[in-house]
A and B are shown apart, each in its own frame.
Chain A
Amino acid sequence: MTRWTAVCALADLDPERGVTALVEGHQVAVFRLADDRVLAVQQKDPYSGANVLSRGIVGSAGDVATVTSPMYKQVWSLESGTCLDPGGKPAHDLVVFPARVDDGRVLVAAP
């Protein structure tokens, strides 16, 4: 059964920006979208190795919510972790962390 970690209140998050949370030893990038959905992926940028993805720009590609690495601008789906634009490099997908909002609290689980 999934073990959820409460990381913060939804009100602590700005729409379309991310924060970093520690979930069972993992650094996780947690994003609040414009429609108040919350999505989470690994914080480590697979291309630079730096822990920075929560600081990327949130946007959309078609209907899919995306984040762009602030380092070398690769783009991923926040929903599936699939790399949508590897910027000419081999594609590396992200680990997606289950995330939900419960009574105004943001919950994240290790995958």
Chain B
Amino acid sequence: MSPSSPGRIVVVGAGMVAHRFADQLRSRSAEGDWRLTVIGDEPLLPYDRVHLSDLFTGKDAAALALEPSVWADPRITLVTGERVERLDRDARTVTTATGRVEPYDTLVLATGSWAWTPRTEGTDLPGVFSYRTVADVVAVQEWAATRAAELGRPLTGVVVGGGVLGLEAAAALQGLGATTTVVEFADRLMNVQLDDGGGEALRVLVTANGVEVRTAAAAVRLGAADDGAVATMDLSTGATVPADVVVFSTGIRPRDRLARESGLAIGERGGVVVGRTCRTSDPAVWAIGECASFEGECVGLVAPGNLMADVVASQLFGGPRTYTPAPEGTRLKGAGVEAASFGDVFGLTPGALEVTLADPVARTYRKIVVSDDARTLLGGVFVGDASLYASLRPLLGRPLGADPSAFLAPEGGAPAPGGDVPDDVVVCSCANVSAGSVRAAVTEHGCTTVGEVKACTKAGTVCGSCVPLLTKIVTATLEDAGITVSRAMCEHFAMPRAELFALVREGGLRTFSEVVAAHGTGRGCVICKPVVASILSSLGAGHVLEPEHAALQDTNDHVLANLQKDGTYSVVPRVPGGEITPEKLLVIAQVAQEFGLYTRITGAQRIGMFGARIDQLPAIWRRLVDAGMESGQAYGKSLRAVKSCVGSAWCRFGVQDSVGMGVRLELRYRGLRAPHKFKVGVSGCARECAEARGKDVGVIATEKGWNVYVGGNGGFTPRHAELLAEDLDDDRLVQVVDRFLAHYIQTADRLQRTAPWVADYPGGIEELRRVLVEDALGIGAQLDALVADHVDGYADEWRSTLEDPDKLRRFQAFVNAPGEHDPDLAYTAERGQARPARPGETAHHDPVVARTLEIVP
């Protein structure tokens, strides 16, 4: 072995820190002739323990696996499911429980921690678990399922330990259907990370989530049921609580047995003693992560462990890096409440000043700790709203830049630190990435998106809490580099949609050729052509199906159906207000049966039929139109559906006829083209069964009329709609909705939904109310006219198409082979219906036949 090579490296432990070490080794020495063997006792690929609680929400254990390409390196051997039993430092070997002997030149201990459980009587009973590994989570899940079945009732669960992990475990038990109690020895929850005020605020939030909290209590004895499983817990307060499942989350201890038995120096409170280079008392042995004791302390967090992995990878090749513990913060994850803190939580620094805002109405508690001159940030506590945590934590020990109380003000206070944080500030403490490294990823490595920066620097890839700050820095750096997001729609039009809309309206333009000649260049593209088609349609300049507009439409609008992954289409007739007759249901059933279409109820109270070939669409729609149905525009950037609850016609609680109003609104706005699709909901009382506030327009009945809410959204960024006007009568409601939609259509950007349009509206919802409800700008009549013209000009797109032989030509499969159709389509059966077959599956080209196929697993 050459002096510059670490030779044969063995890592004991295969957790997150070992993975980081292997990854660092590869990137530091891509060509080196070292060999690395990583030995772990868990049977799985090294996984992301930080997100262990995700398993309870249905995530697969495999999805937690850390980037596996590391293990494909031919120099690296990963051994899982083997416990190292002995370390012989004289012979420089480790020996596993199965007798495998692994010689080393360099040994790295990354054994992590074990979950400590107090010596309470009964901790060996069935139904008592700890919370540390994937195996623990699986065991809890299995127990909860089988025990609930055995007992024939919901379980009661007790979590001992009210720290971060305990609260996660409590939320998880609740998710498994158990009534849950948290028992905490200290007088408050998260007592290490939160002060009294924060702990009390957290108790309120956790209790509101249905978890019972008992502080200043210890578990003294567990009692068994007749069948021997755990059933009760006696507390130090004298109380006895029922306990069908118990999880201990009472802290962790370093796994240092190998080191102890082989005579390495051990810290007073456990852990393998290391110095700044992470070397132990044996120069050939290093220790990293939670098992390493630096200055008498083992830290149970991933960030310092990753830092130690980097240090050792650097040191092994003669590098200069050493370990300096960085002040850490803690953030509660996966418990359904927000709590986070960092730095000097208790204000113990001499002269420290605390600025606290406790808001019992909003159920938030926020505290900022600063130095005696109120300039330097020393710490923070955030409960109920931890949004400041990610932006303030990196400024720990630095000037705050504003009066601390300004950060805590509910609205309009000092803006959170943005893209201008100093270069040496650590933005992502998990991956130890500084603001400077993020900027370098943009300026030196050519990254132009947050996604690219994450891939390049690994920042934001572990816990994700720094992503908002990361985004600000990336955006600011891009702007500084002169890379601005152009306002141009595409290469053919230099202006955004709203400007083009105004130009087309003022110029009275009626075709794409006119529009591009007046305001653009070239022959358009997939971005601008549909936008122009939508603008022309909104302005009533001809039907979406007119020949000159035909070339502007994406295939969905061209053939009036929604393209599916295999090139076939879906068919969704309009079902206004969700109301449908048995006769129409029968026709839908017959059509679906005859054409072998996959059928499902959509999220919009309609019935979708999937798998229609382009050449089948006219025949299918002729049947539906003949039965009195019409296009549902499930393919268009237009009104999708109006969802309603059953309302006062049937419901005992309904105060208005929500179905009637739903039908009226749906028939009014059907076919109206907009910058994006939009949805409407109508609820017949304040119980809000139509979930109207999740829609672009939400209408909710009151005793006196209707309240209308706007700008709601489900999807990727859910947002509740905001109240625009109250207690409107039917006609006034329709007018306000008309104006809202018309104003949105005229001024929104391409593919901008109403939620961001409302959120970005200058002056906010108040100004929108002045413009639309009070007509402060005097544009009400013009907005009313846009919708009135649409209503007058409406015709069912499918009926018009079926009546026009020219338009029916677009539905040929082959221009030179009438009657033929795409021979590459193939379907298989699933749950009694057809779906596109994947390669190698039993399949048939005709879905009518395919749905009857026998699938041999």
Q: Which of under 10, 10 to 19, 20 to 34, or 35 or more describes the interface residues of A? A: 35 or more
A5 to B658, CA, bound (A): 60
Contact status A58-B523, CB under 8 Å: yes
A68 to B555, CA, bound (A): 11
Shortest Cβ distance from residue A79 to the other chain B in the assembled complex, whole angstroms? 13
Q: Give the contact stretch, choosing among B210-218, B428-436, B806-814.
A: B806-814
> Which residues on B sit within 8 Å (CB–CB) of A51?
567, 822, 824
Contact status B814-A65, CB under 8 Å: no
A7 within 8 A of B: yes
Number of A-B contacts (CB under 8 A): 99
A21 within 8 A of B: yes
Q: Give the contact stretch, choosing among B304-312, B524-532, B760-768.
A: B524-532
B385 within 8 A of A: no
Contact status A14-B550, CB under 8 Å: yes
A50 within 8 A of B: yes
Shortest Cβ distance from residue A62 to the other chain B in the assembled complex, whole angstroms? 8
For chain B, residues 534 to 570, give those with C-beta under 8 angstroms from any C-beta of chain A.
547, 550-556, 558-559, 563, 565-567
A62 to B523, CA, bound (A): 9
Interface flags, A16-39, vs B, CB<8A=1, else 0: 110111100001001001100000
> Which residues on B sit within 8 Å (CB–CB) of A22?
814, 816-817, 820
Known: A22-B817, A70-B555. A48 touches B565 (CB 8 A): yes
> Which residues on A sit within 8 Å (CB–CB) of B555?
52, 55-56, 70
Contact status A68-B816, CB under 8 Å: no
Contact status A73-B816, CB under 8 Å: no
Q: Which of under 10, 10 to 19, 20 to 34, or 35 or more describes the interface residues of B? A: 35 or more
A5 to B529, CA, bound (A): 32
For chain B, residues 795 to 838, give those with C-beta under 8 angstroms from any C-beta of chain A.
809-810, 812-817, 820, 822, 824
Contact status A61-B816, CB under 8 Å: no
Question: Main SS of the interface on chain B?
Answer: loop
A15 to B553, CA, bound (A): 13
Known: A17-B551, A60-B524. A12 touches B815 (CB 8 A): yes
Known: A14-B551, A50-B566, A51-B824. A68 touches B491 (CB 8 A): no
The chain A residue sitting closest to B812, CB to CB, is A19
> Which residues on B sit within 8 Å (CB–CB) of A52?
555, 563, 567
> Which residues on A sit within 8 Å (CB–CB) of B822?
27, 51
A83 to B496, CA, bound (A): 26
Known: A22-B820, A51-B822, A65-B523. A57 touches B529 (CB 8 A): yes
Shortest Cβ distance from residue A55 to the other chain B in the assembled complex, whole angstroms? 4
A56 to B812, CA, bound (A): 15
> Which residues on B sit within 8 Å (CB–CB) of A7?
815-816
> Which residues on A sit within 8 Å (CB–CB) of B816?
5-8, 21-22
A20 to B812, CA, bound (A): 8
Contact status B815-A8, CB under 8 Å: yes
A42 within 8 A of B: no
Shortest Cβ distance from residue A59 to the other chain B in the assembled complex, whole angstroms? 4
Contact status A57-B525, CB under 8 Å: yes
Interface flags, A69-84, vs B, CB<8A=1, else 0: 0110101000000000
The 8 closest A-B pairs by CB, nearest first: A50-B567, A16-B551, A59-B525, A68-B526, A55-B555, A60-B523, A70-B555, A60-B522
Can you identify 19 A-B contacts, CB atoms within 8 angstroms?
A8-B815, A14-B550, A14-B551, A17-B558, A20-B812, A20-B815, A21-B815, A22-B816, A34-B523, A48-B567, A57-B525, A58-B551, A59-B526, A65-B523, A70-B554, A70-B556, A71-B565, A71-B567, A75-B526
